């Protein structure tokens, strides 16, 4: 019954149109014909090579490495393994490995042909819409990079785009719908004829509408994940790259398509500067992304590589440096405070878009902190998308640097990608050196009102005040997770001295006097499939409300 209530509450945030799209998607079983497939165009331009992929295909015995796990995939069978998480199988079928530097053309073409032979339409993970989209794009990118696909591969690719055209994930929206549109757009440029022009029209319509809807005014992507922001930013650079490579083709298209393409080019160019500024604001001084919502290392390109790619395809005036002082990204609900000694990042916004917050964590009012280029305070991170107790832990409020009340999550995250009732930001204020926000996520609990957190910044540290309104006796827990490279020493007076084994700097955290505090173990997730032992500071108090808890962090 509890799961049923969670499910109904989750669905209550969806629009009637989205619910209808979901039902239709599940009912339809398209089986497009493999006859009269479009033929590939002769492309006059070439794809501008983006940054190389990491090593994924290891060659020997058809061994691959994805998500920090190695497996052998035997030849002559569908590309799916039962013993691995579904995300590993998806990665196998994306074909990102085509762009690793040590993979020669003969091996790459052979693997494409093997896939076309061993994965008949239209079943299994390989033919799901999202991996299908990424594979379509990767095969086209590879062909545009100067490699010649076999006739069998081209026929398979045309059928894949035809199938993609009938399996658009309108109901999921977000990065799935975005990627479906990108695949149709590039497929429509790659192939010729009326059918390909229909693919191009649909791809343009999807990509343009999602670009406008998903890019918020401060430049951030509306899924509110720094990792997915970088992914969709690269998608836009890929589209510009595709338009450059297809200049000769575009000139021969019908007028409405030429107009739509030029409008898309203009719209992307107008939005890119703010998106690069957002990316710069939300990354740590070490160059990697912050871990708010679903975010993990080794998935998206980092800021430096995205800037290099943008320059390679002719994008000018890309700024990827964060500003000193306080930057409030009000539309996405994040802030950055940067000074000579430290960089603080905080979440003061919604958990995600109501239409599909599948990558949300219960991390409202959490924070991360770097001293110099070393991370000291970190959110736990994401190591799996599988429905599993580990996934529940990593999405929980207690896995983030914020306040947990009565052992409950501030938003009801459940299953692998679902959210029922979610925290809403009630107030958000800023000053030159201060940010204050409150959320109502705990109001569903008896006697609870809002949780308000205020950060006050100075050159030597941060004062954090947590105020919880309401009535009755409640248990409050305050968490600060340390990076695995950090050591911590507990001292009298609820003081904890944190140092980094690999760099300079010292952080002293004075926890609230009324709390019983301890250092305990947890597992940090720097990447998918990875867990690293680390320490966290936890304070606990059972008290009557209203209550205010004051924490002082001193940076040396």
Phi-psi region of 59 (alpha: psi -120 to 50; beta: other; left: phi over 0): left
Closest C-alpha to 332, from 272, 281, 270: 281
Q: What pLDDT, on a 0 to 100 scale, did the predictor assign at position 44?
A: 66
Q: What residues contact residue 103 under an 8 Å CB cut-off, 6+ apart?
A: 57, 97
**For 13-27, 131-145, 177-191, which range has the lowest pLDDT when averaged over its residues?**
13-27
SS (H, E, C) 436-464: EEEECCCCCCCCEEEEEEEEEEECCEEEE
Q: What is the mean pLDDT of residues 180-201?
A: 97
Q: What is the mean pLDDT of residues 329-352?
A: 97
SS (H, E, C) 139-190: HHHHHHCCCCCCHHHHHHHHHHHHHHHCCCCCCCCHHHHHHHHHHHHHHHHH
Under 8 Å between Cβ of 411 and 362: yes
Q: For residues 265 and 261, what is the distance between their CA atoms, to the nearest angstrom?
A: 6
Q: For residues 221 and 234, what is the distance between their CA atoms, to the nearest angstrom?
A: 12
Mean residue pLDDT of the chain comes to: 94
Under 8 Å between Cβ of 132 and 164: yes
Residue 519: CB atoms within 10 A of its CB come to: 13
**For 57-61, 412-416, 420-424, which range has the lowest pLDDT when averaged over its residues?**
57-61
Q: State yes or no: pLDDT of 147 exceeds 90.
A: yes
What are the backbone dihedrals phi and psi of residue 123, each rounded to the nearest 5 degrees, phi first? Answer: -115, 170
Residue 51 corresponds to which tokens in the numbers above?
């940054």
248-277 tens-digit pLDDT: 899 999 999 999 999 999 999 999 999 999
Q: What pLDDT, on a 0 to 100 scale, did the predictor assign at position 4?
A: 80
474-507 tens-digit pLDDT: 999 999 999 999 999 999 999 999 999 887 899 9
Q: For residues 357 and 350, what is the distance between their CA atoms, to the nearest angstrom?
A: 10
* Angle formed at CA 29 by CA 27 and CA 34, multiple of 5 degrees: 165
Would you report the helix, strand and coil content of the chain in percent, each value rounded to 5? 35, 25, 40
* Segment (H or E) for 258: helix 255-281
Helix (H, G, I), strand (E, B) or coil at 399: helix
Q: State yes or no: pLDDT of 324 exceeds 60.
A: yes
Q: What is the mean pLDDT of residues 43-50?
A: 79
pTM for the structure as a whole: 0.95
Q: State yes or no: pLDDT of 406 exceeds 80.
A: yes
Looking at 336-383, list the stretches that DSSP marks H as alpha helix, in order from N- to C-terminal side.
Answer: none
Q: How confident is the model at residue 16 (pLDDT cuts 50, 70, 90)?
A: confident
């Amino acid at each position: 019954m509890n799961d049923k209530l969670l499910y109904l509450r989750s669905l209550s945030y969806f629009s009637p149109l989205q619910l209808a799209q979901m039902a239709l998607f599940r009912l339809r079983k398209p089986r497009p014909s493999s006859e009269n497939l479009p033929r590939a165009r002769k492309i006059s331009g070439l794809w501008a090579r983006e940054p190389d992929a990491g090593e994924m295909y290891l060659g020997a015995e058809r061994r691959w490495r994805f998500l920090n796990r190695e497996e052998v995939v035997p030849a002559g069978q569908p590309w799916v393994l039962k013993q691995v998480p579904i995300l590993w199988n998806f990665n196998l079928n994306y074909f990102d490995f085509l762009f690793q530097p040590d993979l020669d053309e003969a091996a790459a073409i052979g693997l494409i042909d093997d896939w076309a032979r061993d994965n008949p339409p239209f079943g299994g993970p390989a033919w799901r819409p999202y991996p299908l989209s990424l594979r379509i794009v990767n095969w086209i990118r590879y062909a545009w990079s100067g490699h010649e696909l076999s006739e069998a591969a081209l026929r398979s690719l045309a059928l894949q785009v035809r199938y993609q055209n009938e399996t658009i994930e309108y109901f999921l929206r977000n990065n799935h719908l975005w990627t479906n549109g990108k695949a149709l757009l590039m497929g429509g440029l790659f192939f010729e004829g009326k059918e390909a022009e229909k693919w191009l029209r649909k791809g343009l319509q999807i990509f343009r509408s999602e670009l406008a809807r998903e890019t918020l005014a401060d430049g951030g992507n509306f899924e509110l994940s720094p990792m997915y922001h970088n992914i969709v930013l690269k998608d836009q650079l890929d589209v510009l790259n595709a338009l450059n490579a297809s200049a000769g083709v575009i000139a021969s298209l019908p007028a409405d398509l030429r107009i739509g393409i030029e409008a898309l080019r203009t719209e992307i160019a107008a939005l890119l500067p703010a998106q690069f500024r957002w990316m710069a604001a939300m990354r740590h001084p070490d160059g990697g992304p912050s871990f708010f919502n679903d975010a993990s290392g080794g998935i998206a390109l980092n800021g430096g590589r995205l800037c290099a790619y943008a320059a390679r395809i002719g994008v000018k005036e890309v700024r990827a440096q964060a500003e000193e002082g306080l930057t409030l990204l009000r539309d996405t609900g994040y802030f950055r405070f940067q000074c000579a000694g430290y960089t603080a990042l905080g979440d003061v916004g919604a958990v995600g878009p109501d239409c599909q917050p599948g990558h949300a964590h219960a991390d409202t009012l959490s924070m991360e902190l770097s001293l110099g280029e070393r991370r000291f305070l970190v959110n736990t991170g994401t190591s799996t998308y599988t429905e599993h107790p580990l996934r529940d832990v990593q999405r929980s409020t207690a896995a983030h640097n914020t306040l947990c009340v009565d052992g409950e999550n501030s938003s009801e995250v459940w299953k692998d990608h679902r959210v029922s009732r979610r925290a809403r930001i009630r107030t958000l204020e800023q000053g030159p050196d201060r940010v204050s926000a409150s959320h109502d996520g705990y109001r569903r609990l008896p006697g609870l009102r809002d949780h308000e957190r205020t950060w006050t910044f100075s050159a030597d540290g941060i004062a954090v005040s947590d105020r919880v309104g309401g009535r009755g006796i409640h248990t409050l827990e305050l968490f600060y997770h340390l990076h695995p490279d950090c050591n911590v020493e507990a001292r009298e007076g609820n003081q904890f001295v944190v140092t980094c084994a690999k760099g300079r700097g010292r952080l002293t955290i004075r926890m609230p006097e009324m709390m019983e505090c301890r250092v305990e173990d947890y597992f940090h997730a720097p990447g998918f499939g990875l867990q690293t032992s680390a320490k966290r500071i936890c304070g606990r108090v059972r008290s009557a409300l209203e209550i205010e808890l004051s924490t002082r962090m001193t940076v040396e």
